[in-house]
Structure 1
Amino acid sequence: MRLIIALILPWLVFFTIGRPIAGLICLILQVTLIGWLPAAFWAVYSLSQYNTDQKIKRALDATR
């Protein structure tokens, strides 16, 4: 679901993963039509990094 949001409303993804300042910067970038594509790429990349961080955290918690 977050992936679809990342493509349609990239700035919103940053707020859902707890990065509001990046969300505001992304919103400013998205306001321009030229900036929409980089904003979407940035949101998808950040979302994948967030998912990876969550998996690592779960793995570390399981070993303790």
Structure 2
Amino acid sequence: MMTLIAIFFPSLSFLLRGKIFTAIICLILQITLIGWIPAAIWAVISLQNSRADKRNEKLIKATRAR
């Protein structure tokens, strides 16, 4: 679901994750039709990186607990 938001509403994707300054920059980029594609790609990549970071944090906590 969040990936679809990142594709169709890139700046909203950043806002929902609490990145206000990044959302403003993304909104400025997506105002133009040509800028929409890079903004969507940026939002999807950022979302995937965020998910990977959370996954890595869980793994680190799991290995430290032993």
Q: Shared fold by TM > 0.5?
A: yes
**How much is the aligned-residue C-alpha RMSD, in angstroms?**
0.9
Which of these two proteins has the greater Rg computed from alpha carbons?
2
- Deviating above 6 A after TM superposition, structure 1's stretches of 4 or more consecutive aligned residues are none
Show the counterpart of 1:23.
23
Tell me the CA shift for residue 16 of structure 1: 2.2
Identical columns (%): 47
CA distance in 1, matches of 2:58, 2:40: 27
Letter in 2 for 1:16: L
**Unpaired runs of 5+ in structure 2?**
none
Show the counterpart of 1:32.
32
CA distance in 2, matches of 1:16, 1:63: 30
What count of residue pairs does the alignment treat as equivalent? 64
Show the counterpart of 1:62.
62
**Unpaired runs of 5+ in structure 1?**
none
Calculate the TM-score normalised by the size of structure 1. Answer: 0.91
The secondary structure found in structure 1 opposite 2:5 is helix
CA distance in 1, matches of 2:52, 2:22: 18
CA distance in 2, matches of 1:48, 1:10: 13
